[in-house]
Amino acid sequence: MSNHEIDTVLAELSGQCPAEARPVFEQFESLYEAKLWHQLTLVLKQFFAEDASAGLRLKLYDVFVSRFIDKVNQLDVVDFLLAALAEDGRDSLNYLSQLRERFTVLDKEMEQSRNSGLSDHRDAQLLIDLETCRVHLLRGELAQGKDLLNELEPTIMSLRDHSKRKLPLRIMNSFYSVNSLYFKRKEDFNSFYSNSLLYLSTLESDATSASARQQEGSESLAYDLAIAALLGDKVYNFAELLNNPVMDSLRGKDKYAWLLQMLQSLTQGDFDKFNESISKQMQQVPVLAANETFLRQKICLMTLVESIFSSSVRVLTFSAIAEATHLDVNDVEHLVMKSISLGLLKGVIDQVSQVVTVTWVQPRIINADQIAKMRDRLVNWQEQVATLSTEIEKNGKPIWV
């Protein structure tokens, strides 16, 4: 396409956007003509991130971006297409396939010209394949999406762990995001939870980046993560989630206050507060109502762990555990055995004496209140050591002399 034709199509698109956004099209034209590809990419990323580009992204990709994909960062090209398809995804698979094929052709041309100084497009093709998985999953084609994901996973893990070629963070971001989508569809709460946290850890801070734009759905993701944390039978550390910035999207909103209170009460092992939250909201969230028995067992486990953590005593009677967890004394042994099998604690149960001797509690992230309790215990321990030291020095003088 000639410069004159580029001028024409950009002018047409400019007429379709708000007046305040039209000057950016003049930037597109001047940067394109000057072949300032990096600067052009930055301006395009900024424009695609703005509301003014709504409804124009796919057209802009078709008539403009697709003309110089060999000149700019390959992952940025894919992200431009993905941002465009987010508005109109009816032909997503075809667009993704076409772009992948174009990258294949470019690599063949590069190989034939023996220009080894240029980078290949394997990273972009990996990203396209991952996003193709996402399209299948969003369409309910779980088997197709999972089959492709299974094919890609060994390659991605190998490149991440063993390759000298550094795998871009953007690919890992997409990988974890697609995995979490699959596990959400399968209602695998444990896997959804872990993959979603990994996805959040790979988000880029740049406000114009593709991964950052995905945070627009952070409220929905935060809610889904909270539900997964409650229902995951391997999730017993909630402070990590509560401290994650994604949860800020729920704070200050009345409709989520009960959910945050429930997570907080689990973290603190606060049986009464948890019972208050669950009683008010249980029937409004069917998936929680269907798992009420499991949730009540979970708060008992967390109450047991917290009672051990916050106390300097490592020998607990069955009656003390029963009182803290609101269980019958006859159910205490099963609760302790369950906590040991889950790896929450280690210890010995003396059924005859009805006591539990705890030797280890699973390390976990703690909140400010729990840190204060730990500080008080350390201060108390220091005072006890000082007192004992004084007594030994006082009473041991006759022996030492």
Q: What is the pLDDT of residues 335-356, one digit of tens each?
A: 999 999 999 999 999 999 999 9
What is the pLDDT at residue 117? 54
Kind and range of the H or E run holding 97: helix 92-112
Residue 51 burial (CB count, 10 A): 8
Q: Which positions of the chain have pLDDT values less than 50?
A: 207, 212-213
- Alpha carbon 294 to chain centroid distance? 24
What is the pLDDT at residue 130? 98
Strand order in the sheet with 315-317: 315-317, 355-361, 345-350
What is the pLDDT at residue 73? 95
Q: Please write the tens of the pLDDT for every residue from 168-190.
A: 999 999 999 999 999 999 999 99
Closest CA to 171 of 283, 78, 84, 107: 78
Domain spans of the chain, in order of start? 369-400
What is the pLDDT at residue 118? 59
What is the pLDDT at residue 127? 98
SS3 label, residue 348: strand
Number of alpha carbons in the 13 Å side-chain half-sphere of residue 112 = 6
- Alpha carbon 44 to chain centroid distance? 27
From CA 362, how far away is CA 364, in angstroms rounded? Answer: 6
What is the pLDDT at residue 256? 93
Number of alpha carbons in the 13 Å side-chain half-sphere of residue 311 = 16
235 with 189: CB under 8 angstroms? Answer: yes
What is the pLDDT at residue 3? 60
From CA 127, how far away is CA 173, in angstroms rounded? Answer: 10
Q: Output the six-digit token pair for 244.
A: 């994650």
